Amino acid sequence: MSPLNKGFRLFLALGSLLLATTSRSQFNEKPVLNLENEDKKFLNWGYYLGFNHYDFKFEYENDVPNIAVDRSFGFNVGLIGEMRINEFVDIRIEPGLFYTSRLLRYPGIEDPVDAEREVKSTYISVPLLVKLSARRLGNWKPYVVGGVGTALNLGANEDSLDDNSSGTFRMKRQVYNYELGFGIDFYLEYFKFSPSIRGVFAISDELVPDVDPNSPWTGNLTAIKTRGIFVNFTFE
């Protein structure tokens, strides 16, 4: 088992343990209210940790066998800045670092070295989000969140003079996307804990074609767009 998968399982175990140990106090009929004034602040700060599962959406020029993508789990870490609009609406900015790796498998290429391309990406993401919350129920509150953002892909190789003919898969450095998700705020004794699940979908094309227009790696592609799902555990 890879260290990344071990870390992913450990992270899930810790999250499950935290939820299990707090569930009784959260869902009692008349719970003792924690952090009663937490949501009355105009500005709020926090951080998040999590994991991601990124994929690609390919757009093809001709109808041929599709490129297969082997996905793996990556990790997220970032900060949160929140501005309160009213009891139910907050504006959030969540700058973060997202690491992921995807393995592309090309059908029809016999050489096993050329038939695969590993794409490692490290995104510095800056989304601007709107959080819409329900009314607080004891010590928990569900919400939905969505918005738009941009990300800088540090592993894009956009300016590299080498392309796939030399084993280098290139992508555009700047990515524009939108996010949609939902979560639950749990009000614990000393802090607010919020697990959430999000979907991220690229708006902009990230493809940097190879020099050869008939390249077996990019010749039949008209666009590549990142998409994925991630789970964040937020502490505020």
| CATH code where residue 201 lies | 2.40.160.20
The pLDDT tens digits of the residues spanning 211-234 come to 999 999 999 999 999 999 999 999
Total structural domains within the chain: 1
Whether the predicted pLDDT of 4 surpasses 50? no
Pairwise CA distance, residues 53 & 102, whole Å: 9
Q: What is the helix (H) or strand (E) element at residue 26, kind and residue range? A: helix 3-26
Supply the range of the domain harboring residue 76: 3-235
The pLDDT tens digits of the residues spanning 153-170 come to 999 999 989 999 888 999
Read off the pTM: 0.82
| Residue 174: CA count within 13 A, CB half-sphere | 0
